Chains A and B, each alone.
Chain A
Amino acid sequence: MQEDIIFQILEGHQDTIGEAIYKARRDYQIETLTIIANYRCEKPVFSGWNMRYIRPGGHTTPAHLERIKTELEPHLKTDQPAATALFHTIFTPSPAIVTAPAETLPAATREVTADAVDTGTDTERLHTHLLSIRAWPKASQVKLSSQVMKACALMSKGKISYQELFRHCLWRSEAELTEFLSQLNHIGVLVFAPMEAAASSSEATETEPVQTSSGDRFGALMRKFLTNTRLRVS
């Protein structure tokens, strides 16, 4: 696309990708390696796509470029100006690129796009499912407030309902919790599990007093220490 720039989309298990990138970083033939987007998806988005050489003035297929652009744009690392700049360098069609008749995209990719857009019901799902996380959000994605730490700690240990999360983590408002969970969902770490039998037992706890770990002395003293120190430091 641009002289000396190779653009690659890797899909697969995170360990395979991690390993590939780890190696690429140590490859002396690669001068700089910029990751412009990194996110999880349930199904392969670009399955059926092969290696393709697109060059200025050649018989490019803007439909393909458009498709990649549309897919990646929401996931751009907006906190990194270099990544965004590179993205636009690659995907702003230069006059040199000759427009060729648009090829139709493989059917499979269109299906996935439709799925990906289908996020409208997620707020509902938060209430009808037990929640857990498959990884902690990165520090660059979500600010680790004490509510966020508590919620992630709980969701990393087990499956928990929205109500329990709200109770245990001292969110200031439901809106705040909902927004946080949507954010987790957006970055692909939130896992939904059907309520099943657990639903009835969690209802039963609704009437019981909230049991937090401050029941034990060490936890309570640590809590106090952290609160006092944070006040002192900031």
Chain B
Amino acid sequence: MNKIYKKLAIVGEVGAGKTQLINTISEISPFATEARSSVDIGKEFTTVGIDYGRLSLDEDTALGLYGLPGQRRFSLLWETVRQGLWGLLILVKYGDGLNLEDLEHILRFYQPHSNGLPVVVGISHTEDATGDELEVLVDYIEFTLAAHNLVAPILPVDPRDVESSIMLLELFHSLDSAGDIFQQPEFVEVGVADAS
């Protein structure tokens, strides 16, 4: 049987929880012993900070988890995780103020809309956030995405929590499946509805 290997890019600023999320997901991998092995991403990258883990679904099928720093100066690293993407997770750390420029660059780099790439935005470190503060941040991210023709889930996540991490995978799975369904000719794709 052919091996299937897909990638999840997890992009986020310092301390957003990339490493934590990769660990949480790798640990629940049904083939846990294999986690963090086999795929050679090159030593030079690990030293400058690509995190790597994997979720093995069976002997021949795995999802590679790549933690990538969110700042634009690391876009060379983003480049290495561009092919075979299953999804793009943008992790935003609550409370640090959103770096909109970084978000812009990430979106411009990956072009999720034209590439049909599922995107989820997770907001971490939200335990102490009040509901409306969080809502404003969500709104703000929402219209940034809208400028890139994206309608994507934006939700609080806790990368330390298994259930929350699974929820992220499930969202990507739903988006991925929806993409397949819409490849049937009778469906019409939409961009973001014009608010005006």
Stretch at the interface among B37-45, B73-81, B88-96, B131-139: B131-139
Contacts of B175 in A (CB 8 A): 153, 156-157
Residue B47 CB within 8 A of the other chain: no
Alpha-carbon distance between A80 and B169 when the two chains are bound, in angstroms:
29
- Residues 163-196 of A, flagged 1 when their CB comes within 8 A of B and 0 if not, give 0000010000000000000000000000100000
Contacts of A138 in B (CB 8 A): 135, 138, 154-155
Q: Which residue of B lies closest to A200 (CB)?
A: B186
Q: Which residue of B lies closest to A208 (CB)?
A: B184
Q: Are B184 and A133 touching (Cβ within 8 A)?
A: no
Residue A38 CB within 8 A of the other chain: yes
Number of interface residues of B (CB under 8 A): 58
Known: A18-B139, A83-B132, A218-B6. A139 touches B166 (CB 8 A): no
Q: Which residue of A lies closest to B97 (CB)?
A: A26
With both chains docked as a complex, state the minimum distance between the C-beta of B54 and any C-beta of chain A, in angstroms: 13
Select one of B61, B179, B192, B196 contacting A221, CB under 8 A: B61
Q: Are B184 and A219 touching (Cβ within 8 A)?
A: no
Q: Are B171 and A132 touching (Cβ within 8 A)?
A: no
Residue A149 CB within 8 A of the other chain: yes
- Residues 180-196 of B, flagged 1 when their CB comes within 8 A of A and 0 if not, give 11101111111011011
Q: Are B166 and A140 touching (Cβ within 8 A)?
A: no
A-B contact pairs, 5 of them (CB 8 A): A38-B139, A80-B130, A153-B175, A225-B57, A226-B173
B-side residues, CB < 8 A to A, are 4, 6, 28, 30, 55, 57-58, 61, 63, 86, 130-136, 138-140, 142-143, 146-147, 151-156, 162-163, 166-167, 169-171, 173-182, 184-190, 192-193, 195-196
- The 4 tightest CB contacts between A and B, nearest first, are A213-B177, A201-B186, A153-B178, A213-B180
